[in-house]
Amino acid sequence: MLTKHLLFYYDDNASKHLFKVACGIDSMVVGEDEILGQTMNAYMTAKEENTTAYELNMIFQSAFACAKRIKTDTALSRTSVSVATLASNEAVKFGRNILVIGSSGNVGTTVLKNLISHKDVTVKATLRHHNSRFSVIENLGIDVVDYKDRYKYINEADCIISATSSPHYTITYYDLKKYINDEKQRLFIDLAVPADIDSFVTKIKDTKLINIDYFEQLARENNIIKLDSVSKAKEIIDEELNSLKKDLLFHDLLPLLDKVKNAVENKPLEELIYKMKSTASATAFEEFINVLKTL
């Protein structure tokens, strides 16, 4: 019964699968870091229970080192293709006080989760009091305000993000100008289709409006960058797997070094060459010959 829920990998394929998972290549969101933390926790648990030996230790530690190299040398984990994540990052760059309108939907919820992952950010979210998610969002540590009072909180916000499924504007120019009573710079981000925010709000001084078209274009551009990073990451994985395999082979050879040394000393070089020719692969024999040429 369990087999239909499991994946089985053997030999080199098992190591390669681990590397791809740890590095985020096989994740639903390519390049995300959460799976790396989960893999590390699983490994540490196994190690604490003394269920790992030198081979597993070397393989897992190499996978973690590979993930770190990919994170440093590529844009894989630094490049988001999620509109909600891009919008959240844009908001936090602009200011630290953020109001989210439409926090009960999928996009709004994702925006909230991204916002609270940043330090020193104050987030307020609007909900109607009869909404069943009111207490859930409060439990995230977010101040929840009633949707009907949204304009009262816009004046103190640096950035306002709206992502509802409403067929009507959540913010109109004529209502907004009644509540804006200073010349503070504000960023409005509209992630809704049809639009939530009246485009005329930009008539108000120091007000900037970005809509979903901007973020979708940015997401497309980032996706191209991410695909390039995936190719680079796969090259790095192959390099690291090759180094790992040599380290494992060398580790296995260490206890036999004295025996090998004595065997080699007692055999003519010509005999060794013919032995290699008859038993080794063409690639291995070529490498052996190349080593002899350097002597």
24-28, 146-150, 184-188, range with greatest mean pLDDT = 184-188
Q: Which residues contact 35 (CB under 8 A, 6 or more apart)?
A: 21, 22, 24, 27
Closest alpha carbon to 39 in 58, 24, 55? 24
Please say if the pLDDT value at position 135 is more than 60: no
Give the range with max mean pLDDT: 27-41, 96-110, 168-182, 215-229: 168-182
Whether a cis peptide bond, with omega within 30° of 0, leads into 255 is: no
In this prediction the pTM is 0.62
291 has pLDDT over 70? yes
Pick the CATH number of 83-219 from 3.40.50.720, 3.40.50.9100, 3.90.650.10, 3.40.250.10: 3.40.50.720
Cβ-based neighbours of 74, under 8 Å, separated by 6 or more: 229, 232, 233, 236
Given a contact cutoff of 8 angstroms between Cβ atoms, the answer to whether 68 and 54 are in contact is no
pLDDT at 136: 54
Q: What is the mean pLDDT of the chain?
A: 85
> Could you count the other beta carbons within 10 Å of the beta carbon of residue 2?
5
Which residues, 6+ apart, have CB-to-CB distance to 87 below 8 Å? 111, 161, 189, 191, 215
Cα separation, 177 vs 151, whole angstroms? 10
So where are the chain's domains? 7-79+223-251, 83-219, 265-295
| pLDDT, tens only, 189-200 | 999 989 999 999
